[in-house]
Each structure stands twice: as C-alpha cells, then as structure tokens.
Amino acid sequence: MAGRDRKNSLKALFGDAVTPAGDVSNLSTSINPEGASQPPAAEQAAPPPRAASGAIKAMGLSLTNITREAEEARVLRQALEEGERIVSLDTEKISGSFVSDRLSEEERDDPDFLQLVDSVRESGQQQPILVRPHPEKQGHYQVAYGHRRLRAVHRLGLKVKAVIRNLTDSELVLAQGKENAERRNLSFIERALFAKALIGRGFERKIACDALAVQKSELSRLLQVADSVPDALIRAIGPAPKIGRERWMALGQLFDDDAAKGKAEAEIASDRFRSAESDERFQMLFERLSRKARSEKSAPEALSTPDGKVFARVNRQGRSVKIEFSVEADQGFIEAAIERMTEDYARFLAKAGS
C-alpha cells in the first residue's frame, strides 16, 4: 500500500503540471513570499487525479524503486521551485543523448520495456524526462535522461512530459550517468562503451569517473575491455547483463589475429546467434573462438631428426610462436641454435632495413 500511496502522491504533485505542447515561453512558476512554489489557480481548483487502473502493479515495487521515486519527486520539486515547468513535447523533436549508453533497443534485450509501455498506456507517464535545447537544431531537444520513457511514449504516439534545462555537455552526461545508477543499471560492457565514448569525445577522466561513479582504476579496466573487443562484435552480442569483466577480458584476449575476427564475424551472422538472448550470444562467440585456440594449441608442429626422432615442437597460437626442445635433444645443439638464431635474426633485420 505504501508503494501505491507514494505513486498517487507523485501523480497528484506533478501529473497535471503540463503546459500545452511546444509552449515553452513561460517556464516559470509563481513564488509566494516564503519562497514556496505556488501553482496556477486553475491547477489549484483541479480535483485530485483518479487512481490509475494499473495501480495494483505498484504493490510490487521494491524498496529501491520506492526510494528512487522519492528522489525523483524531490528533484522535480526543486525544479519547480527554481522556476522550471513540466511541458508537453512532440517526441519527433527530441533526439537521444550525444553519447549512447544502452546496447538494447526497446524490447530487444530489455524485457521490462514492454511493461513500461503498458504502464504508460494504463497510467500515463508518471515521471517527466529531462531534456536540453538541441545545440544544433532550433526548436528541437536532446535527452539527458529518460530515454526508455521517451521510446515508450513515442511507441504509443503520445507527447512526452519533460523538464527543459540548459545543460552543458558535462552536465548532460553527469545527469545521464546518475539516471543509469538509479534506474536499470548498465551492464559491464555498456559501462565500458559509455566510458570509451566519453573519453573519445574529449571528456576528462574525472568527468567519466563521476558519470559512471567509479574510481580511476576501474575506469582503466573498462577502457581496456572496450578496446580489446571490436565494437561491431560488442553491439552484436548486446548488453549481456550476466557477463562480467573477467569473461569480457578473456574474450578480448582471443582476438589476437585476423583469423579470429573472421570466425567471429561468421558466428554473429548465423541464424542461431541472432535468435539467441544476449548472454547466450556472448557464450556462443566465446566458445567458437576458444575452440579455435585449443585446436591450434593441441596440434604443434614436430621437428624430427633424419631417423624420425622428435627433438623439438613448434607451437603456434596466433602471432605467438613457441619452440620447445625435448629432453633428449643435445644441450650443445640447443645452445648453438640459440646463438645462431640471434645472429640470423640480426642479419635478417639489417637486410630488411636496407
């Protein structure tokens, strides 16, 4: 019951504070002498909103969701007190953040998205999104947070409730990162790509750390993984919510040559790969490349004497080559071979550079 009362309270507080679509000329609220936000008279006289038919679903809200809604209510009250208003905007005039942070699109790899669409259809948009004026398109806007709500409202053909705020690029990504921490957490690889995108756009590492709420050492690990696996393959796998840093790092180590990339591209093009869930797609690709590595390791090249005795084996793993002499090999020959190899390699380099 506490969850339902809290949701109804939020609706009563913000559900009707919407200006007509596109009318953003008056974004201020009247402030009484004590500094409290005073809504227009028409809004004061409006009856309390009817409880939504889908309110029973709110009974299942977790404590985390309740806390998050309370925090959003506090932020919105602060926005109203600072002279901002919730407005209704055409979704066609709103574009996503200039830094992508999600690998799932609508219901693909996001099973909760359809529930969000149903919730908006039944109860309306409970919380506005945060946008800023688009830096390049006049009359258009750019999302700081609320991408999933925007897509849900767009699918239903409705206008979206939004708070418009002038934000710098840094303020936008910080708001975006804050939402990710408070709502559906990004998977490890989504965080890694978000970090890579921020650094690639010239943001300082401190901004990236703050946006992701991580220390510098963890940021370095995120960047290491994002650089080790080709971007196209990461996007083909998707968010892979159950796959953590160690397994992504292990996958990155398998991309040591062009042959590995070719095998990976063949795997992601298969029908079975495309029809699988994200975590399964990761496992399919990992197993495909691991089989390649094991087969190469299990088939070393034997070096034999004229009478057929093996005195050494050559192991090739990608660009790495290892020569292992057998215990029966003459130690004098091994020492001579090492010395000769050093001299031959020096002559080879000298000739290649001439």
Look at residue 140 in the predicted model and tell me its pLDDT.
Answer: 94
Look at residue 236 in the predicted model and tell me its pLDDT.
Answer: 92
- Between 23 and 317, name the one with better pLDDT: 317
Euclidean distance between CA atoms 312 and 309, whole angstroms: 9
92 lies in some domain: yes
DSSP string, 260-303: HHHHHHHHHTSHHHHHS-HHHHHHHHHHHHHHHHHHHHTSPEEE
pLDDT score of 12 more than 70: no
Look at residue 158 in the predicted model and tell me its pLDDT.
Answer: 94
Look at residue 189 in the predicted model and tell me its pLDDT.
Answer: 93
pLDDT score of 336 more than 50: yes
324 lies in some domain: yes
**What are 117-156's pLDDT values in tens digits?**
999 999 899 889 999 999 999 999 999 888 888 989 999 9
Query: Residue 344 belongs to what domain range?
Result: 301-353
Pair 130, 169: CB distance under 8 Å: no
347 lies in some domain: yes
232 lies in some domain: no
Q: How confident is the model at residue 77 (pLDDT cuts 50, 70, 90)?
A: low
55 lies in some domain: yes
239 lies in some domain: no
pLDDT score of 288 more than 80: yes
Residue finishing a domain among 123, 146, 161: 161
The identity of residue 132, as a single letter, is: R
- In percent, the amount of the chain with pLDDT more than 70 equals 69
260 lies in some domain: no
pLDDT score of 45 more than 60: no
- In percent, the amount of the chain with pLDDT more than 90 equals 30
Look at residue 159 in the predicted model and tell me its pLDDT.
Answer: 94
207 lies in some domain: no
Of these ranges, 68-72, 95-99, 132-136, the one predicted with the greatest mean pLDDT is 132-136
**What are 221-267's pLDDT values in tens digits?**
999 999 999 999 999 999 998 999 999 999 998 887 778 888 898 99
Residue finishing a domain among 161, 196, 231: 161
Residue finishing a domain among 161, 186, 212: 161
Q: Whose CA is closest to 259, among 207, 316, 322, 299? A: 316
Task: Please give the average per-residue pLDDT across 279-288, as a whole number.
Answer: 94
Mark whether 157 and 305 lie in a shared domain.
Answer: no
